[in-house]
Amino acid sequence: MTITFQPGPGSQYLNQTVYTFPAPAGWTSNRAPDQEVPSVTLTSVAQLGAGQSLTLDGVFAGTAADNQFGTFTVGVTIGATSASFMINTPSAFPV
């Protein structure tokens, strides 16, 4: 799974990309925590069988509450299959 951030108009952090975080349990990261980088790739240490799923929990990347406006793009690759989707920065911190 690769996460990238594209700042939008009005973002206080026009040069900021993804601020990295420790990899959640069961995942590894290609970046050390506490860095601002163009993208971060998380890799599951578990192998998936047909019909199985993985949960990625505890990843937080930023909100519009601290003037970080933009779009996160999340790309997921499993074997030869890949997909991506875009998520706008949420308007508030998670509760």
Position 11 pLDDT exceeds 80? no
Instruction: Report which of residues 78 and 68 the model is more confident about.
Output: 78
Token match 């578990």: residue? 46
- Region 74-93 average pLDDT: 79
CA–CA distance, 11 with 92 (Å, rounded to integer): 15
* pLDDT at site 39: 82
Question: 19-77 pLDDT, tens per residue?
Answer: 777 887 788 889 888 877 778 888 888 777 778 777 766 565 555 556 677 788 888 88
